[in-house]
C-alpha cells in the first residue's frame, strides 16, 4: 500500500480510487492560474539547471577524481582497480563508477562527463522535489524549493560527485512510493543504495512503512530491493573480499587519528562559514521553522516526513560510526532544507494574509519578497568565486599530475595525502597516506601515524604541501625522510595548496 492507504493496484479498502491529499490553504494555485504556474516552474527548472551546471563545473574538487580513475580503468579494460593489481574498493559509488565507465565511450574527458551526468541528476532532483510537494498540495512551495536546490551552493560543491545521482534516485523512490507504487520505489531505492550506501536508511524507512501500511504484508518490494543489494554484495565479496568500500574503515581511521574534525563539528563549521559570507543565510533557518510548523499541520504526508528524516538519520549514523567531516557530506541536507524553506514561505504568506487582509491580492509579490533573500544568499558564493577565479587547488594539483605523467617512469610510485586530481592525471601508482585505496594503512592512521605508508613502501616520489599540512608535518620533519628524499620540483599555488615533490635518493 502507498502512503495514502492505497494498495498496489491503486485502490483503497472500499475499492475506490485513492484520494489526492488536500492542499494546504494558500499553498496551491488553482485552475488556469495553477496550470500556468506549473508550466513556468518546470520551464524555469529546465532553463536554470544547465546555466547553473556550466558555472558549477568550474569548481573542481579532489575526491570525485578517485571515482574517475576507477571508471577510466574499467573503460580501458584494466579491471576494477585504482592501482593495477590491488583489489581494493576505494570508491563509495559502484553504480556511478559503472555509469561513468559506460559513458567513457562518448568522451575520454571524464570530469566533463561527470559534470553532465551530475547536472542532469540535479535538474531531475529539482523536478522530483517539485512533484513531491505538488502531490501533497504544495506546488508553489515545491517551485520555491526546486529553485533553491538548483541555486544552493552546497549542490555546487558536489557537482561531479555521485551525490546528485544518489539524491535523484532516492527522491524518485519517494515519489514512486507516494504515488502508490512500492515496487518501483524498491527498484529506485536499490539503485540509490548502489549509488551511495546512505540510501539504505531511506530504503529502511520506506519499506518499513510499506509493510506497516500493507494489509497483506506485500513482501515483493523487499525482495526487489534485497535482490539488487545481494547481487552487488556477492560480486563485491568475490572481487574485493567485502561488500563495503574500504573508504568506510579509512574514514573512521582518519577520525581516530585526531587530525580531522568530527562530523558534527564540521557541520557547524560549514554553517558558520556560509553565514559569515552572507547573513541572509539565516533567513533559511527562519523559513525552515515556519516550514516545520506547516509540516506538523499535514502529518499524513509520510513521504515528506521521510525526506526530512533521511539526512538526519544519516548524520546520526555518521556520528555513531566515527566518520570525520567532509564538505561533500553536508550537501545531502540541501533538499530537506529547501523543502522546509519552500513550505515556510507559503506558511508566512498565509500568516501575512491573515494579519493583513489587504495583502491578499498581492500574494505573488509577497512570495517573491520572501524568496528573494534565500536566492540572494545562495548566489553569494558563486559571485565570490567569479571574482576570485579558478580554484587554486585544482590548478596546482592538475599541474603536478600532468608533470608526473611525463616526468617520471611509467612504473614509478608516488605517495601523497590527497590522491584525486593528481592520481587521475599522473596515471602513476599511488601510495595513499590516508589509506582510501592503499591496503593495510588504516590501523596505522588510526594510531595517528600517517608516515607508515611511506616508511614501509619507500615510494619513488613523495608529494607534500608547502608548507606541510598538519598530518604531513611528522613526515616532513623526520630525520630519515630528509636523508632519504630530496626535493626536485615545486608546484606553486596560493596557500595552502602549493606542493613540493621529493624524490628518493
Cα–Cα distance, 419 to 60 (Å, whole number): 14
Beta strands in 103-219 (DSSP E): none
The one-character DSSP state at 161 is B
Cα–Cα distance, 266 to 333 (Å, whole number): 13
pLDDT of residue 299: 66
Q: Which residue has the cell 552546497?
A: 154
Cα–Cα distance, 323 to 198 (Å, whole number): 13
The one-character DSSP state at 428 is S
130-179 tens-digit pLDDT: 999 999 889 999 999 999 999 999 998 899 999 999 999 999 999 999 99
pLDDT of residue 8: 38
CA dihedral 388, 391, 393, 396 (to 10 degrees): -90
pLDDT of residue 32: 64
Cα–Cα distance, 363 to 360 (Å, whole number): 6
pLDDT of residue 14: 34
pLDDT of residue 186: 98
pLDDT digits (tens), the chain, 505 positions: 333 433 333 333 333 334 444 444 445 655 566 677 788 899 999 999 999 999 888 888 999 999 999 999 999 999 999 998 888 999 999 999 999 999 999 999 999 999 999 999 999 999 999 999 999 889 999 999 999 999 999 998 899 999 999 999 999 999 999 999 999 999 999 999 999 999 999 999 999 999 998 876 689 999 999 999 999 999 999 999 999 999 999 999 999 999 999 999 999 999 999 999 999 999 999 999 999 999 988 667 899 999 999 999 999 999 999 999 998 899 999 999 999 999 999 999 999 988 888 777 788 899 999 999 999 999 998 777 766 666 789 999 999 999 999 999 999 999 999 999 999 999 999 999 999 999 899 999 999 999 999 999 999 999 999 999 999 999 999 999 999 999 999 999 988 999 999 999 9
The answer to whether residues 166 and 177 touch, using CB atoms and an 8 Å cutoff, is no
CA dihedral 384, 385, 386, 391 (to 10 degrees): 160
Element at 414 (helix H, strand E) = strand 413-416
DSSP calls for 319-355: HHHT-B--GGGGGGGHHHHHHHHHHHHHHHHHHHHHH
CA dihedral 358, 362, 363, 364 (to 10 degrees): -170
* Bond prior to 496 in cis (omega within 30° of 0): yes
Model-level pTM?
0.91
Amino acid at each position: 500500500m502507498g502512503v495514502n492507504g492505497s494498495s498496489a493496484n491503486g485502490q483503497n479498502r472500499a475499492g475506490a480510487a485513492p484520494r489526492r491529499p488536500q492542499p494546504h490553504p494558500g499553498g496551491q494555485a488553482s485552475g488556469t492560474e495553477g496550470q500556468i504556474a506549473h508550466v513556468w516552474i518546470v520551464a524555469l527548472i529546465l532553463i536554470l539547471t544547465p546555466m547553473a551546471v556550466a558555472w558549477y563545473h568550474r569548481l573542481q574538487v579532489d575526491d570525485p577524481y578517485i571515482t574517475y580513475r576507477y571508471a577510466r580503468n574499467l573503460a580501458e579494460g584494466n579491471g576494477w582497480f585504482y592501482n593495477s593489481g590491488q583489489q581494493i574498493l576505494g570508491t563509495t559509488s559502484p553504480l556511478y563508477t559503472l555509469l561513468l565507465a559506460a559513458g567513457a565511450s562518448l568522451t575520454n574527458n571524464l570530469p566533463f562527463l561527470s559534470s553532465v551526468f551530475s547536472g542532469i541528476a540535479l535538474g531531475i532532483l529539482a523536478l522530483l522535489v517539485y512533484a513531491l510537494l505538488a502531490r501533497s498540495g504544495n506546488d508553489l512551495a515545491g517551485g520555491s524549493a526546486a529553485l533553491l536546490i538548483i541555486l544552493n551552493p552546497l549542490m555546487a560543491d558536489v557537482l561531479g560527485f555521485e551525490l546528485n545521482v544518489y539524491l535523484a534516485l532516492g527522491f524518485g523512490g519517494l515519489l514512486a512510493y507516494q504515488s502508490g507504487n512500492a515496487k518501483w520505489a524498491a527498484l529506485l531505492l536499490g539503485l540509490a543504495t548502489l549509488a551511495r550506501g546512505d540510501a539504505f536508511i531511506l530504503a529502511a524507512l520506506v519499506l518499513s512503512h510499506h509493510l506497516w501500511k500493507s494489509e497483506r504484508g506485500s513482501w515483493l518490494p523487499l525482495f526487489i530491493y534485497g535482490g539488487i543489494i545481494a547481487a552487488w554484495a556477492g560480486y563485491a565479496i568475490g572481487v574485493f573480499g567485502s561488500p563495503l568500500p574500504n573508504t568506510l574503515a579509512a574514514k573512521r581511521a582518519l577520525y581516530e587519528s585526531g587530525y580531522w574534525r568530527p562530523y558534527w563539528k564540521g557541520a557547524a563549521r560549514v554553517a558558520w562559514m556560509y553565514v559569515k559570507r552572507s547573513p541572509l543565510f539565516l533567513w533559511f533557518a527562519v523559513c525552515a521553522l515556519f516550514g516545520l510548523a506547516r509540516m506538523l499541520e499535514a502529518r499524513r504526508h509520510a513521504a515528506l516526513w521521510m525526506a526530512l528524516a533521511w539526512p538526519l538519520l544519516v548524520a546520526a549514523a555518521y556520528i555513531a560510526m566515527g566518520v570525520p567531516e567532509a564538505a561533500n557530506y553536508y550537501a545531502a541536507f540541501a533538499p530537506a532544507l529547501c523543502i522546509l524553506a519552500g513550505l515556510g514561505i507559503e506558511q508566512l504568506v498565509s500568516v501575512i494574509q491573515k494579519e493583513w487582509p489587504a495583502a491578499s491580492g498581492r500574494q505573488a509579490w509577497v512570495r517573491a519578497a520572501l524568496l528573494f533573500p534565500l536566492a540572494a544568499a545562495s548566489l553569494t558564493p558563486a559571485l565570490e568565486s567569479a571574482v576570485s577565479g579558478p580554484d587554486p587547488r585544482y590548478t596546482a594539483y592538475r599541474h603536478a599530475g600532468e608533470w608526473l605523467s611525463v616526468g617520471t617512469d611509467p612504473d614509478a610510485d608516488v605517495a601523497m595525502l590527497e590522491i584525486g586530481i593528481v592520481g587521475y592525471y599522473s596515471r602513476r601508482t599511488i601510495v595513499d597516506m590516508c589509506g582510501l585505496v592503499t591496503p593495510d594503512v588504516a590501523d596505522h592512521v588510526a594510531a595517528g601515524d600517517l608516515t607508515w605508508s611511506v616508511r614501509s613502501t619507500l615510494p619513488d616520489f613523495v608529494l607534500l604541501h608547502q608548507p606541510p599540512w598538519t598530518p604531513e608535518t611528522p613526515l616532513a620533519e623526520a630525520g630519515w625522510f630528509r636523508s632519504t628524499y630530496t626535493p626536485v620540483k615545486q608546484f606553486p599555488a596560493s596557500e595552502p595548496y602549493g606542493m613540493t615533490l621529493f624524490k628518493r635518493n
